[in-house]
């Protein structure tokens, strides 16, 4: 039986073997395996026989369904758990800061919007009756001052307005999604049987 170069290479890539690794298992030289993968030589019968068990473990070639493998305990080393825990704390800290900033900036944004609307709102008010004792007081509010206040509000609108808030909210949503994913990953690592997470120094 002759297997094509693509099948032999497929087995090697599926398991992550180097050519030297697979050649050792098959009992042939690495150079011969390279020729087989280049479709310049045929795989010897004995090597083909040894290849069959590996081929049978692959879902696309197995006669029966092959279940996905669960996480291996070796994946959850102290260092990897430490990195996950550290990243989780970083994301939680950043998310807390962004949420605090959004809450703090909202009153400033609303105040800036009120200042921008001030000239039009004051101009729409009906003239007031003269106040006894203040005959020189204008019947209408100081619209020039209101216009300056409205102009000064532009900077705050740029800092705290809809586009700026959307960027912060997008960052917050991303961090919250990452937090949920990290918490799930850490729980899964603990389920595999990992020990306690060491403190990062």
What pLDDT score was predicted for residue 68? 87
Residues with Cβ < 8 Å from 157, sequence gap 6 or more?
Answer: 109, 112, 113, 116
Taking 80 as the threshold, does the pLDDT of residue 46 lie above it?
A: yes
* CA 185/CA 188 separation, integer angstroms: 5
pLDDT tens, residue by residue, 133-161: 887 888 889 999 999 999 999 999 999 99
> How large is the average pLDDT for residues 62-86?
82
Q: What is the pLDDT, as a whole number, of residue 118?
A: 96
Tell me, what's the pLDDT at 3?
56
pTM comes to 0.62
Predicted confidence at residue 194, as pLDDT, reads 44
Mean pLDDT of the residues in the chain:
89
In 10 A of CB 82, how many CB atoms? 15
In the chain, what are the domain boundaries?
5-56, 73-125+139-192
Q: How would you write the chain as a 3-class SS string?
A: CCCCHHHHHHHHHHHCCCHHHHHHHHCCCHHHHHHHHCCCCCCCHHHHHHHHHHHHCCCCCCCCCCCCCCCCHHHCCHHHHHHHHHHHHHHHHHHHHHHHHHHHHHHHHHHHHHHHHHHHHHHCCCCCCCECCECCCCCCCCHHHHHHHHHHHHHHHHHHCHHHHHHHHHHHHHHHHHHHHHHHHHHHHHHHCCCCCCCCC
Q: Which of the four CATH numbers 1.10.260.40, 3.50.50.60, 3.10.20.30, 1.20.1250.20 does domain 5-56 have?
A: 1.10.260.40
- Please give the average per-residue pLDDT across 44-60, as a whole number: 92
pLDDT digits (tens, 9 = 90+) for 100-122: 999 999 999 999 999 999 999 99
The answer, yes or no, to whether residue 30 has pLDDT greater than 60, is yes
**pLDDT confidence of residue 61:** 84
Of 4-8, 65-69, 160-164, least confident by mean pLDDT is 4-8
pLDDT attached to residue 201: 45
CA dihedral 162, 165, 166, 167 (to 10 degrees): 130
**pLDDT tens sequence across 77-100:** 777 888 999 999 999 999 999 999
């Amino acid at each position: 039986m002759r297997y094509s170069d693509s099948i032999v290479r497929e087995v090697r890539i599926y398991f992550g073997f180097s050519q030297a690794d697979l050649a050792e298992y098959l009992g042939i030289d690495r150079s011969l395996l390279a020729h087989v993968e280049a479709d310049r030589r045929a795989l010897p019968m004995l090597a083909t026989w040894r290849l069959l068990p590996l081929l049978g473990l692959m879902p696309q070639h197995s006669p029966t369904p092959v279940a996905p493998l669960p996480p291996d305990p070796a994946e959850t080393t102290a260092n990897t758990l430490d990195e996950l825990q550290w990243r989780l704390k970083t994301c939680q800290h950043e998310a807390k800061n962004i949420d605090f900033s959004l809450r703090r900036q909202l009153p400033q944004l609303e105040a800036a919007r009120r200042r921008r609307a001030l000239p039009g709102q004051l101009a729409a008010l009906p003239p007031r009756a003269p106040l006894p004792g203040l005959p020189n007081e204008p019947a209408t509010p100081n619209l020039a001052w209101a216009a300056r206040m409205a102009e000064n509000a532009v900077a705050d609108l740029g800092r705290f307005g809809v586009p700026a808030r959307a960027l912060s909210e997008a960052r917050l949503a991303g961090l919250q999604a990452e937090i949920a994913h990290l918490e799930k990953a850490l729980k899964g690592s603990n389920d595999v049987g990992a020990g306690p997470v060491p403190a990062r120094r």
